[in-house]
Structure 1
Amino acid sequence: MITDVESATPALCRLQLGSELRRLRLEADLSGAYVVRRLLWSPSKLTRLETGENATVEQTDVMALCEMYGAGDETREILMGYAAVTKTRKDWWQSPEYRPAIKPGFKAFLGLEATAASLQNYEAEYVPGLLQTEAYVRVIHQRAHQGLNSDEVNRIVAVRLNRQEVLHRKRNPLKYTAIVNEAVLRRRIGSGDLMQEQLAHIVTLAETLPNIRVQVVPFSAGAHSGMNGGFALLRFPDGAGPRSILFLENLADGWVSRREHSVSVYADAFDDLQALAPGPEQSLTMIKKAIKEHSG
C-alpha cells in the first residue's frame, strides 16, 4: 500500500484504493452481491470502485465499506486520503482542454498508463505513441481523422505529447519496451525529412534513456504472432492494482481488458515477437539504415 498519499497522482490513488477495497472485501469473506445489497448500491458502482474507474470517489462510500469490512484505523485513514485526492486534484487528461480529444476507452488507458511500472507495446502500422514526434502525430491524425478542424487536431497532438512524460518522470519512469513491424520504418508519413526526424528521435530515446528498449520485426521473419494488429500490456507495481492489463485500440475507441486469458494470450504473443526480432542494437541499426533511405 502506498502511504505517501500527498505525492500520489489521482490515477494512482484510484487504482490503489480499488485494489485495497477489493482485498478487504475478500478478507472479510463478503461477496460483491452482499455488499451492494446491504448498501443499496448498483453492482456497477462497486465494480467501478474496485477497478479504479471512477473519476472521483466519495469519502462517505469508502467509510461505509471500511465499516462493513472491519478495516483498522490506519487503513481507514490511508483509504480516506486516497479518496480525498480524487476529489481535490485532477489528472491532466481530466482538464477541459483535453477531454474533448479523449475517447472513453482511451481515458481509462491513460489512467492505467500513468500508474504502470512497465508497458510492452507492439505496433504494426505506425510509430508507437510514446515515441512519436509532434510532426508525425499531426500528419497521422490529419489523415486518419479527416474532417477534424485545427483546434481538434491540436488537442490530439497535445494529449499524445503529454502522455510521453511517463518516460521522463524523475520517480520511477515507465519501463517501456516497444516492438514495431519493419513496415513502420518504411511507410513514409509526410515528407522524407519528417520521417528522418521521427526515426532519429526513436534512436535518441533508445540510446539515452535506459528505461526504453526498441526492437524491429523484419520482413524476413515471415508470419508472426502480431499479425492481427497492435496491442499494449501494462504491468503494475506490487500492491498497486491488478498484475497485468491488456489494451487494444482501433479507429472507434480503445478497450481495456483484465481477463486473465486475454492477457496471457497477448503476453505470449509479445514474448514470441521479442524472441523473433533482432536485439535492440541490431534493431537500432535497422532504424539508422531506414533514416538514410528516407533522404531525398
Structure 2
Amino acid sequence: MATQAWNDEDVADRFSPTVRKRVLGLQLARLRRAAGLTSEKAADELGVGQGHLSQMEHAHRSVNKAQLLALLSIYKADESKRAELMLLHQTLKQPAWWQGMGVPAGSYVDLEAAASIVRWFDHGLVNGLLQTPEYAEEVIRLTDPTADAAAITQRVDVRMQRAELLDDGLRLWTVIDEGATRRLVGGREVMARQIEYIADRYEALPTLEVQVVPFGIGGHVAMEGSFAVLEYEDHPPLGYTEQWGQGNWLERGAEVDDALRRWQKLSGDALAQADSLKLLRKIAEDVRDGGDQVAEG
C-alpha cells in the first residue's frame, strides 16, 4: 500500500482510518531514521517523551497537525513528502466503505483491504473472501444466533464486496483443512456449490493459491484454529488469529515470524495445488451425491 494512493479518493476509500494511522506512523519513523535521529533525540526536539513518540510511530497515539508539521521540519522532509503526509493526515477521519455497514473500526477488514498478500489457514470454515452468498448467510446465522435478517444481509453484502479485492489484485494463498470442506453448512447443494466455487475461482484467478490439508496427515500445527499473515508494501507484516468471532492482532516480530513458520509448515504438509484442486472437485461430487466422509452440520 503506497501512500501516494491517498491522492486518489476512490483508492483512499478502501483504507480505514486505522490503516491510514499506521501508514502515517511508519512513514514518520522512516523519515526519522533517514534524518539520522534516534527516537530519543527526535522526541526531545518535538518536546515530548520518547515513549510518546514511539506510540505515534506505532499508531498507538494520534499525531495532531501541529506535531506533524513540527516533525516534518525536524526531519527536513522535502516538499513532495510534506504534501503527501499532510494529505494523508487530512484523511485520517474519512471512513472506509465498510464502516457504514456495521463493521467496527480496527477490525480484520480494516487491514485486509490494505494488504498485498494474505496467507490464511482456514480451520473450520471457508475463507470469507471465497464464500458464496448462501454459505456466508448460513455461517453468520449459525455463529451469531442474535443476528436478525437485516444484520445477516448486511454482513453477507460486506463479504461479497470484500471478495472483490481478489479481482483488484490482492494475492490470497489459503490453506484449507479438509474438514472445513466436508462439513455440510447449509445442506448438500449449498456446500457443493461452495466447494465448486473455490475450485472455479482458483482456476480463474492467477492471484489465488489454494491448498488442502488432507485428513491423511493426521494432526497438524494449527489444529487450535484459523490464523493469517498479512503482508504490505509500506508496512511491516502482521499476524492475526480468530476465535469466537474475536480477532487478535500479532504485531511483534517474533509473533509474526512464528505465525509465518506455522503457515509454511501447513503449506508444506498440504497437498500440492493441482492435487488440491482435484480433491476439491471430488469433495463437491461427494457432497452433492451423498458420498462418504461428509459431516452433517
Which of 228, 235, 241 is the aligned partner of 2:235? 241
User: RMSD of the TM alignment (CA)?
Assistant: 2.6
Cα distance, 1:245 vs structure 2: 0.7
- CA distance 1:36–1:209, change in 2 (3 Å): farther
Alignment correspondent of 1:35:
43
Structure 1 distance, partners of 2:6, 2:177, is 41
Q: What secondary structure sits across from 2:163 in the alignment?
A: helix
Partner AA of 2:266 in structure 1? L
1:105–1:253 CA contact under 8 A, matched in 2: no
Structure 2 distance, partners of 1:278, 1:22, is 41
The yes-or-no answer on 1:93 pairing with 2:101 is no
Structure 2 distance, partners of 1:36, 1:91, is 35
How many residues get paired? 281
- CA distance 1:132–1:23, change in 2 (3 Å): same
1:105–1:255 CA contact under 8 A, matched in 2: no
Deviations 1:59-87 (A, max 9, x none): 43421221233323332121112222335
Which of 251, 276, 287 is the aligned partner of 1:283? 276
The yes-or-no answer on 1:66 pairing with 2:72 is yes
Deviations 1:207-256 (A, max 9, x none): 0000001100000011211212110101112xx111x1101111252121
Alignment correspondent of 2:293:
none
The yes-or-no answer on 1:80 pairing with 2:77 is no
Alignment correspondent of 2:247:
254
Alignment correspondent of 1:131:
130
The yes-or-no answer on 1:21 pairing with 2:21 is no
Q: Which runs of 5+ in 1 are unaligned?
A: none
TM-score, length of structure 2 as denominator length: 0.85
TM-score, length of structure 1 as denominator length: 0.85
Alignment correspondent of 1:225:
221
The yes-or-no answer on 1:6 pairing with 2:14 is no
Q: Which runs of 5+ in 2 are unaligned?
A: 290-297
Deviations 1:7-53 (A, max 9, x none): 24253654432211111233442426962894558956862x43457
2:42–2:74 CA contact under 8 A, matched in 1: no
Among the aligned pairs, what percent are the same residue?
Answer: 26
* Aligned ranges 1:173-252 → 2 under 5 Å: 173-237=169-233, 240-242=234-236, 244-252=237-245
Structure 2 distance, partners of 1:16, 1:269, is 27
Partner AA of 1:21 in structure 2? L
Cα distance, 1:163 vs structure 2: 1.4
- CA distance 1:42–1:132, change in 2 (3 Å): farther
Cα distance, 1:155 vs structure 2: 2.3
